[in-house]
A and B are shown apart, each in its own frame.
Chain A
Amino acid sequence: MDRNLVTGALAAVAALSGLTALLAGLLILAHRRLRVDEDPRIDAVDEMLPHANCGACGQPGCRPFAEALVAGTEQPAGCSVASPAEREHIAAFLGVGVGEAVKRVARLACAGGTHVAVERAHYAGAASCGAAAQVAGGGKGCFWGCLGLADCERACDFEAIRMDEHALPVVDEVLCTACGDCVDACPKDLFEVHPLDHRLWVACRSLEEGDGLLGDCEVGCTACGRCALDAPGLVTMQNTLPVVDYTQPHDERVAIERCPTGAIVWLDPETGPQRGVAAPVLRKGPRRGTPT
């Protein structure tokens, strides 16, 4: 056998072994010196969370929420996606109380479905509200109103939003986790996340004043100010729209009673949105302005 070959091979083996030992040593050193001890409960709690990563708790995702739970800065009730049993399970595991959280849901500030609101121009482009809003505001008579192309329905990970027969999104209060994806998706900024017990609701965002807007939408707010007169302190008029001060007690329906259009409504948990007696009955039949 060639002697040079043997010594060459031996030298290579020795060099590589040396290098291996050196790197292994470095790894061992790094493991000893740079190791981060993580509370094993974080992994366990993370496993128990629903992994929707929706952000409704206020944390960037489920794992940061698990870390906050273990650190004690959040309570299990903060997760609006987990079922009550799952929350109990986490609370029992961590030995803390479940805590209390107000159920919050997304609410739409528009009631102008196709049965009551006119279309000024027919939009024929890409079927998305975001795209339609870029083309002359979307063609709806009311510039501020819901375009009805279901960007929110697509954005909702929990199937809590469905479009009704008048092309208006309806939020399922049970399924909604208040994650806020619909708030971001709506190009007209019509969604707001509110506690479930906020029953008095202004379902209009139109900045137009007077009866002129009724030609565009029958349920728009004309800024008549009756609600603010009837419920002083609770409702104030700001920029042609009533604003409800939810820090006040608001369990009476007096504000909606004299609304002439039904722009301010009472969201009854059983019967749905209730309009005042002064508001006309919704028109049924084909929508105005539809080309025949």
Chain B
Amino acid sequence: MLKWFGAGSFRHGVHPPEAKDATRDLPIRRLPFAPLLVVPLSQHLGRPSIPVVREGQQVVRGEPIARPDGFLSVAMHAPASGVVKAIGLAPGIAGRMLPAIYLKPLPGSTQEVVEGTPCPLDATPEQIVHAIQEAGVVGLGGAGFPTHAKLRPPEGGFIDTLIVNGVECEPYLTTDHRVMLEQREDIFTGLRFLLAATGAARAIIGVEENKPDAAAHLREGLPEKLPVSIEVLPVKYPQGAEKMLIEALLGRRVPPGGLPASVHALCVNVATTAEIGRLLPHGRGIQERVVTITGPAVRHKGNYHVPIGTPLHFLLETVGVEDDLSRVFLGGPMMGSAAPCLDVPITKGTSGVVAFTERESLTTQVVEHPCIRCGYCLDACPMFLDPSQLGLLAANERHQEMADRHHLMSCFECGACAYVCPSHIPLVQRFRVAKAALRKAKAS
């Protein structure tokens, strides 16, 4: 464990196999339009967007099809030129049916995107925040928090450092890696917008040292007069979590339950930054995103530009999957979610699709043993919690005690504890059950 106490990183954490070799050197390719796209109205945290199209209406690629409902909500844009088939329920990642816009792309629909009102680089912070909301930008790392909602410093506070998260600590995923290599100018344009909107004096791009080419490529093209530095960090999971990254880069510790703004920092994903730089000068909105499609069950692994709303089954058919496809994860294998069915669409928060065959799934079916109090999980937990004690309390359903005395709510479910547990105790799953039970108790 001592080697992890070195400078330039956070304390604790784990190092799972990276498994990025299959896709790290593959340039981003474009995926064709699916015969029917399903654009959920709730691809972000906050209130679902309100549709501004009706059934049967023809839309052009990039045209707004839904408007934000209040501040904590974003706009949606047509991922393809086509006809709105229906506005109804569609399966979401959480298994629940969610309202969505069904869009049927026209035959021969091109990749051309309609232009809107451009947002100039010298716009006021309020104008930039509004433009980012209208562009439908949410955190592309996976959380899906509306980006514009965190840009303005809280009342009486300030933000001095903007952190761009190019860590990509999840195994298998190479989305951010390819974005840094291929969309460098967009990242720097996006940074200018974000610096102007937040009023931060400087920006740091954090990159893990397993992506030396990305760091070198960014350094090479670093524009003059842009207060940006590129920091290379040791490879460790969950360094991509914003609290961990702030600690690794700035040595500041976000208090439990606090926001990064309380230590005058703001963390934005590198793909989100690139998207802002790509969209705002043209007044466009998000119609596609980069998705790493990989895993042992995928035949043509790679990084793809995938239109938002592409159903999972079309995506897997296009890249080809093995016959004994068994488990599909949206996002990475550590913090991603298992797909409830192959009808779920790719949303703005889907950074990767990792598919496994029956063979790999069998090896993960292990027997749970009692806790032997080895303490590995304590050394792994980046939030300095006691997962061992929490796990024992969870087994006895002492949920309130977990929250009151053992800071359950500080757990952000990175899975490091369950990963190292030699007894194969599904700790994170227990914690999620406990959190759900506490939410239910609070609601009633």
Contact = CB atoms under 8 A, between A and B. Distances in A.
Nearest to A206: B97
A121 B312 CA distance: 14
Q: Which of B91, B93, B340, B341 has the most CB of A within 10 A?
A: B340
B3 interface: no
A134 B436 CA distance: 8
Given A120-B340, A124-B365, A139-B340, A134 B97 contact: no
Given A121-B339, A121-B341, A137 B94 contact: yes
Contact of A131 (B337, B338, B339, B430): B430
B432 A143 contact: no
B95 A143 contact: yes
Contact of A136 (B89, B340, B440): B340
Contacts of A125: 426, 429
A203 B91 CA distance: 23
B272 to A, nearest CB: 25
Interface string B324-342: 0000000000000111110
Contacts of A133: 436
Contacts of B95: 120, 136-139, 143
Interface residues on A, range: 20 to 34
Interface in B308-351: 337-341
Contact of B340 (A121, A208, A212): A121
B144 to A, nearest CB: 16
B437 A130 contact: yes
A113 B203 CA distance: 56
A52 B440 CA distance: 25
Interface in A161-204: 187
Interface string B240-263: 000000000000000000000000
Nearest to A123: B338
Nearest to A119: B341
A128 B430 CA distance: 10
Contact of A128 (B91, B337, B340, B433): B433
Interface string B158-175: 000000000000000000
Nearest to A140: B95
**Prevailing SS type, chain B contact patch:** mixed
A125 B427 CA distance: 12
B429 A134 contact: yes
B369 interface: no
A126 B341 CA distance: 19
A137 B94 CA distance: 6
A24 interface: no
Interface in A111-163: 120-121, 124-126, 128, 130-131, 133-139, 143
Contacts of B440: 187
Given A131-B433, A187-B436, A208-B89, A143 B97 contact: yes
Nearest to A130: B433
B405 interface: no
B338 A135 contact: yes
A134 B340 contact: no
A123 to B, nearest CB: 9
Given A121-B341, A136-B337, A131 B426 contact: yes
A139 B328 CA distance: 13
Interface in B351-403: 361, 365, 368
Most buried by B among A131, A207, A212: A131
B442 interface: no
A23 to B, nearest CB: 35
B225 interface: no
A176 B338 CA distance: 37
Contacts of A131: 426, 429-430, 432-433
A136 B93 contact: yes
Nearest to A289: B341
A137 B430 CA distance: 15
A279 to B, nearest CB: 24
Interface in B46-95: 89, 91, 93-95
A171 to B, nearest CB: 21
A181 B315 CA distance: 44
A134 B96 contact: no
Interface in B92-126: 93-97
A21 to B, nearest CB: 43
A121 B430 CA distance: 21
A124 B365 CA distance: 8
Nearest to B95: A137
Given A124-B365, A143-B95, A136 B338 contact: yes
Contacts of B93: 136
Contacts of B429: 125-126, 131, 134-135
Contacts of B337: 135-136
A136 B436 contact: no
A137 B96 contact: yes
A138 B436 CA distance: 14
A131 to B, nearest CB: 5
Nearest to A155: B397
Contacts of B341: 120-121
A126 B338 contact: no
Interface string B420-435: 0000001001101100
A139 B95 CA distance: 7
Interface string B125-155: 0000000000000000000000000000000
A138 B430 CA distance: 15
Contact of A130 (B89, B94, B426, B436): B436
Contacts of B338: 121, 135-136
8 contacts: A124-B365, A126-B426, A130-B433, A131-B432, A134-B433, A135-B429, A143-B96, A208-B89
Given A121-B341, A126-B426, 6 more contacts: A130-B437, A131-B432, A136-B95, A137-B340, A143-B97, A187-B436
Interface of A: 120-121, 124-126, 128, 130-131, 133-139, 143, 187, 207-208, 212
3 closest A-B pairs by beta carbon, nearest first, are A137-B95, A136-B340, A136-B95
Interface of B: 89, 91, 93-97, 337-341, 361, 365, 368, 426, 429-430, 432-433, 436-437, 440
